[in-house]
Amino acid sequence: MGASEVLTDPSSLYDVGNGEYSDTYTMLTVRNALASVQNGESDRYEELVQSMQIIKGADHAVWADLVTILNALSGSVACIDIIHHRKLLSSVFGMSLWDLKPHVMDALVGLLISLAATSGKYLDSCLNMLIGHFVPPRWVIDRLSQRRVIDQKTDVLSWVHGAILKISLLVPLAPSRLLPMLAQQMPKINKKDNLVVMYVENLFKLQSSPIGQVGGSMIFMMVMERLRDLDLEIDWDDILQDDSSRGMFDMELEDTMNEGEENTSGGNVVFESLDKLMVISFDHLESCNLDGRLDQVFEKLFGAFENFILNTYKSKVSQFLMFYACSLDPENCGVKFASKLMDIFLSSNKPRPTRMSAVAYLASYLARGKFLPVSFVASMLKRLVDECADYCGACNDDIRPEAHQIFYSGCQAIMYVLCFRMRSILNVPLFRSQLIPLESVLMHRLNPLMVCLPSVVAEFLKQAKAGGMFVVSDSFIFDDLLESELSRAFGGPERLDTFFPFDSCLLKSSNSYISPNFIYWSMVRPTYEEDDDDEEDAEIIVNGDEESDEEEEEGDLDYSMNKMSITPKHSFKNKMERDRLLKMPSMIRHSTSPESL
């Protein structure tokens, strides 16, 4: 029996006759049907439930009747009982906006809003049903290339987000109930589809709404956690097959992405999902920046980073969300990120691995961020140098590397940044003078030059000598060594001595967002290279310091030429190499050349 028959049947309490019934009569008839089931008479109630079952291919009249029923139920929610009308509620919550005409969607959404606002008993069910629409059914996913289906997706999600927002405004408790549901319904990593990408798009839409004021932090944590999970799903070690005969700072990774995908189980879909998630995350941050709320969003983003990424040492890509946010607003977000990392490193209340990870992030960020003024980099280096100098003055007689891991991580951070920035730092007398205490740090009996990663130390000393910063013995050469037993000792089981989190972004689409603001090693002009008047010094010309006289060339840097990883994978293997490693410079002293004045 159809909706019209239910409402005009002579057995109904309110017979409006000939299908010409008013909304009031319809509502009274529906209420009568709802009341009858509690009196032991279920016929009219069963007919009401049956009238909500839409058969595929139903004509316009059937859809019109359904709209009438839904509107009547919206005005009768106070009469609905969660026990006696379980079958009716099951029919309502089992409906899908994806299967309905636009005017029917309007009526169903109105009913859901009424149910959620009238009684707290239905709030969770209404929110769960709406969240369930974040991921379309399979038939929609398979046809998303069609314009009609794309428009339908836009319409459905517009209704869904509008309903969630209205419920949140009517029921103050709704956002706090919504957030755990969002986390629970987040799609798992699936190697067969990209459902998580569609879901995150909707999370960001919520984050941009007033709901984001309440749940923005948790939404970013959900996204960051999923990015991390996808990041860890990829076996990056199989992709980063470096030549052990090449030095760390000579490496320019070949474009092995496709080969890596083939060697990774399910790699193609995981790569694609991670890349797409990063791109929509970048787009969301850019939208926040255009809306003038990036500074506010950044605090929530950093909280998610600190919770899920900071101590995840195998992450290769997800941390670039922070890098991109900083590149959008260097003066605020860019400074905040470095300052927060510095504060974590200097905090004695933080766990040792967290402090070491923070300074590794800080060093990698200061080295790679093309948007960071040299003056700011120099100020951060000064704080690190002063901290290491103070540590040397207060240390005890224990010189085991594992007893001074924080100190060595700070020293390595200084040298690593200077490998990228030394030319521009030494060109400014004030910045050069701020590095004077570094000499006593490097000459201290804790021997950071012997303990820190040899490849970093060797490149640093080579540039320091060429730049007139120190006079260094030529015998202090590490050749092709990439790590040592001593650096392993200070790096600990997490190998934080080899942790350079902002190595080149290895996902092509994501890299297109990062590369314009990223300093690749191939762009660095070390101090031992002669000046070339025809070339700009890439690591000097950065925002806030100097402007190029010529417009930058259009287009991103070639992806395959600029991917560089300096994360070492090889250990020295024999006593001869160890003996060579332990040789110290015969003399390290402040240069008396004119350049040092």
Same domain flag for 419 and 478: yes
Same domain flag for 299 and 435: no
Same domain flag for 294 and 429: no
Residue-wise pLDDT for 292-304, tens only, equals 999 999 999 999 9
- pLDDT band of 453, cuts 50, 70, 90: confident
Name residues whose C-beta falls within 8 Å of residue 405's C-beta, 6 or more positions apart in sequence.
352, 356, 490, 491, 492, 496
Same domain flag for 368 and 496: yes
Q: Is residue 422 part of a domain?
A: yes
- The average pLDDT across 281-294 equals 95
Q: Which residue has the higher pLDDT, 545 or 200?
A: 200
What pLDDT, on the 0 to 100 scale, is given for residue 454? 85
For the chain, the C-alpha Rg in angstroms (whole number) is: 32
Residue-wise pLDDT for 512-562, tens only, equals 999 999 999 999 999 888 665 444 444 433 444 443 333 333 334 333 334
What pLDDT, on the 0 to 100 scale, is given for residue 53? 81
The pLDDT > 70 percentage for the chain reads 73
Same domain flag for 452 and 586: yes
- Among 51-55, 139-143, 258-262, 519-523, whose mean pLDDT is lowest? 258-262
pTM: 0.79
Q: Exposure pattern of 191-213 as b/e (b: 16+ CB <10 Å)? A: eeebbbbbbbbbbbbbbbbebbe
Residue-wise pLDDT for 222-252, tens only, equals 999 999 988 988 876 655 544 434 445 654 3
Q: Is residue 515 part of a domain?
A: yes
What pLDDT, on the 0 to 100 scale, is given for residue 400? 77
Same domain flag for 301 and 417: no
What one-character-per-residue DSSP string does 366-435 give? Answer: HHHBTTS-HHHHHHHHHHHHHHHHHHHHH--S---GGGGHHHHHHHHHHHHHHHHHHHHHHTSHHHHHHT
What pLDDT, on the 0 to 100 scale, is given for residue 566? 43
Same domain flag for 383 and 328: no
Report which of 455, 567, 556 is spatially closest to residue 509, judged by C-alpha positions.
556
Q: Which residue has the higher pLDDT, 440 or 489?
A: 440
What pLDDT, on the 0 to 100 scale, is given for residue 479? 45
Domain stops at, among 295, 318, 345: 345
Q: Is residue 22 part of a domain?
A: no
Q: Which residue has the higher pLDDT, 576 or 110?
A: 110
What pLDDT, on the 0 to 100 scale, is given for residue 187? 87
What pLDDT, on the 0 to 100 scale, is given for residue 120? 81
- Among 47-51, 170-174, 384-388, 567-571, whose mean pLDDT is lowest? 567-571
- Domain assignment of residue 333, given as a range: 187-233+266-345
